[in-house]
Amino acid sequence: MSAICAIALAQTGKTSPSVIEPDNFDVNAALYNLGVDVSTIPALSSLQSRSTKNACRAACSALAFLFSPSRAFAQNTTAYTNATGSYWSAQQEEVRPYCIFKPSLNTDVSILVLLSRYTGCPFAIKSGGHAAFAGASSIQGGITVLLKDMNAITLNKDRSVVSVGPGNVWVQVYSALEPYGLAAIGGRVSTIGVGGLTTGGGISYYSNLYGFACDNVQSFELTETKVVTASGAVVTASADSYPDLFWALRGGGNNFGIVTKFNLYTIPSSEMRGGTRVFADDQFSKVISAFVSVVNGASNDGNAQHWVAFVHTQGVNIAAAEITYVKNVSEPAIFAPYRAIPAIQDTTAARTLVEYCDTVQEVNPDGLREMYWTITVRLDEAFINWVTEYFYSVLPQVLGIPGINPSLVNQGITIPMLKNMRRNGGNALGLDASEGPLHLLLMSIWWDNADDDETVVTWAKKFWDTVTAKAKNEGVFHNYVYMNYASQYQDVIAGYGPANKAKLQRIAAKYDPKGVYQTLQPGYFKLGGAPASASL
């Protein structure tokens, strides 16, 4: 009997386990319950030293034995090279795991986590791989898990909920729903993954109507520590079932388990209208006024979504306003302030959601060195004018770096977005409508060469230290850190506030008492602090 057949047969006749990991938990027994007999796998039965290299050699050999080398890629194979080269940022592509595993079933994920626990080999999970820094969804010397084959997309009978596998990127979801005149609340760039965006919050073109992506999840199906370690069962977390876990997953990132299915509410979606209006630097103050006006106007017209990026290109400073209306209306009143400003370019047109995301994807190329850094402040026009002027005053310090392209991106967290965060028991982000509207400020930087990493990071840190100090001095600073835009030097969970951080830690201790998702999955934003040291 093959190892795969043994796993399949082991699933029959099992009773549902307790979700909470018992004190007498036994990894061997849990693996056996999934059809994996450690004593029959040479790499495991002979494992003596638990050093990372030996542990990962054993774990990867076991995965290849159980699932075949076609699903557990070793180094120096074409599949391995293709997988490591499939990330958005060059920093992630440079990471070299010991092996790469590609599960297709919940059971496969359960076995992966248990093998990690048995051997001590750490792992990372890749949904879309759109994070900027190394180790976010990749791991040096460990097991990188590609969820690409867990990519089912199915509508329920009345088409109110779509079940989405975590291996999908958002354009796949939108393409599947478009023939039905539907969409889901998700990413605005085609190749962003479903998993990371949703568990980190998730801003959508529709967020002024429906809120963040995490607030539009009916339920999460996940393979998470205690269920795996107890007997490999799968938990469905919703407002009615494990509501504490459901709350934690709405913004808590990868700290609580591996989500193997997202059940998302669908929304009606027809042709929309959007594009980029580009303005010269002598119009910057008017552009900022328009930005503030539209953020404040979201309560009156939730169909509008926009952001403004200040950039330097071809020797000139410009502002690029991405303005989107989720109905095909040529001149919605809410965007009148932008239309009143003379534009040097205007690409706004009628588009489908898929077409729009593909258009935005074109200006977010893969394979470059990338860095994000973010801050949240209270919406204040004078502060935006100041930070824009400061950005351009220090920009010449790095313009000589090959390929560098810093942009200062302004977005609103509007009153409607904040109100929608109360849905189904609320989320973990620590935001309240009484504090809004808020201003989400992002610096996105790409450049060519690793030799310039330290220079870029040092410059960016100095910029943000100054901006943060100014925001605090002006009384506009807000603690919230948006996970999907944070740098590896930022403590995202602390930004949710001390009460929410403590609650997240209690929930993690309840469902993951051994801290598997804090230690064996060490990448990205953990409950205890920033991924990287604050000292550069």
For residue 478, pLDDT over 90 is answered with yes
Residue 534 has a pLDDT of 60
**What are 272-325's pLDDT values in tens digits?**
999 999 999 999 999 999 999 999 999 999 999 999 999 999 999 999 999 999
CA dist., res. 113 & res. 446, Å (int): 34
Residue 533 has a pLDDT of 74
Q: Strand 258-268 and strand 182-184: pairing? A: antiparallel
Residue 423 has a pLDDT of 92
- Based on the domain organization, do 251 and 298 belong to the same domain? no
CA 503 to chain centre: 21
Q: Give me the CATH number covering residue 11.
A: 3.30.43.10
- Based on the domain organization, do 110 and 128 belong to the same domain? yes
Is 42 among the domain residues? yes
Which of 269, 302, 323 is the C-terminal boundary of a domain?
269
Residue 371 has a pLDDT of 98
- Based on the domain organization, do 8 and 138 belong to the same domain? yes
Instruction: Kindly list the distances between the CA atom of residue 28 and the CA atoms of 46, 241, 465, in Å, as whole numbers in the listed order.
Output: 14, 29, 49
**What are 358-407's pLDDT values in tens digits?**
999 999 999 999 999 999 999 999 999 999 999 999 999 999 999 999 99
Is 513 among the domain residues? no
- Based on the domain organization, do 240 and 279 belong to the same domain? no
User: What type of residue is 189?
Assistant: V
Instruction: Kindly list the distances between the CA atom of residue 499 and the CA atoms of 224, 504, 508, 512, in Å, as whole numbers in the listed order.
Output: 24, 9, 14, 19
For residue 535, pLDDT over 80 is answered with no
- Based on the domain organization, do 365 and 476 belong to the same domain? yes
Angle between helix 52-67 and 3-10 (nearest 10): 80
- Based on the domain organization, do 104 and 165 belong to the same domain? no
Q: Give me the CATH number covering residue 477.
A: 3.40.462.20
> If DSSP codes are grouped into helix, strand and coil, which group holds residue 503?
helix
Cβ(406)–Cβ(445) under 8 Å?
yes
> If DSSP codes are grouped into helix, strand and coil, which group holds residue 95?
coil
Which of 146, 177, 197 is the C-terminal boundary of a domain?
146
Is 443 among the domain residues? yes
456-461 average pLDDT score: 98
CA dist., res. 473 & res. 476, Å (int): 8
Cβ(406)–Cβ(482) under 8 Å?
no
Q: Degrees (nearest 5) of the Cα angle 420, 426, 430?
A: 95
- Based on the domain organization, do 279 and 244 belong to the same domain? no
- Based on the domain organization, do 260 and 138 belong to the same domain? no
CA dist., res. 100 & res. 140, Å (int): 11
Token duo for residue 378: 């209270």
pTM here is 0.94
Is 532 among the domain residues? no
CA dist., res. 513 & res. 23, Å (int): 9
**What are 344-357's pLDDT values in tens digits?**
999 999 999 999 99
- Based on the domain organization, do 343 and 446 belong to the same domain? yes
Q: Give me the CATH number covering residue 181.
A: 3.30.465.10
- Based on the domain organization, do 161 and 310 belong to the same domain? no
For residue 17, pLDDT over 50 is answered with no
* 255 band by pLDDT with thresholds 50, 70 and 90: very high
Work out how many domains the chain is built from and give that number.
3
Q: Which of 328, 307, 333 is nearest to 319 (CA)?
A: 307
Cβ(160)–Cβ(185) under 8 Å?
no
- For residues 270-295, b (16+ Cβ closer than 10 Å) or e, as one string? eebbbbbbbbeeebbebbbbbbbebb
For residue 1, pLDDT over 60 is answered with no
Residue 233 has a pLDDT of 55
Is 524 among the domain residues? no
Is 509 among the domain residues? no
Ordered DSSP codes for 113-158: HHHHHHH---EEEESS---SSTTSS--TTSEEEE-TT---EEE-TT
In a 10 Å sphere around its CB, with 0-12 CB exposed, 13-18 middle and 19+ buried, how is residue 405 labelled?
middle
Q: Over the Cα atoms of the chain, what is R_g? A: 23
Domain span at 209? 153-269
489-505 average pLDDT score: 98
Mean pLDDT of the chain: 93
- Based on the domain organization, do 171 and 298 belong to the same domain? no
* 18 band by pLDDT with thresholds 50, 70 and 90: low
CA dist., res. 36 & res. 16, Å (int): 18
Q: Count CB neighbours of 328 within 10 A.
A: 14
For residue 12, pLDDT over 50 is answered with no
What are the DSSP E strand ranges found in 39-134?
72-74, 99-101, 123-126
Which of 477, 496, 515 is the C-terminal boundary of a domain?
496
**What are 415-428's pLDDT values in tens digits?**
999 999 999 999 99
Token duo for residue 3: 């190892």
For residue 29, pLDDT over 60 is answered with yes
Is 189 among the domain residues? yes
- Based on the domain organization, do 168 and 142 belong to the same domain? no
Cβ(370)–Cβ(89) under 8 Å?
yes
* 229 band by pLDDT with thresholds 50, 70 and 90: very low
Of the chain, the percentage scoring pLDDT greater than 90 comes to 88
Angle between helix 381-394 and 453-474 (nearest 10): 150
**What are 137-182's pLDDT values in tens digits?**
999 999 999 999 999 999 999 999 999 999 999 999 999 999 999 9
* 526 band by pLDDT with thresholds 50, 70 and 90: very high
For residue 74, pLDDT over 70 is answered with yes
Instruction: Kindly list the distances between the CA atom of residue 157 and the CA atoms of 14, 150, 163, 261, in Å, as whole numbers in the listed order.
Output: 29, 21, 12, 17
Is 278 among the domain residues? yes
Token duo for residue 394: 């220090």
Token duo for residue 476: 């506009």
Cβ(209)–Cβ(265) under 8 Å?
no
Of the chain, the percentage scoring pLDDT greater than 70 comes to 94
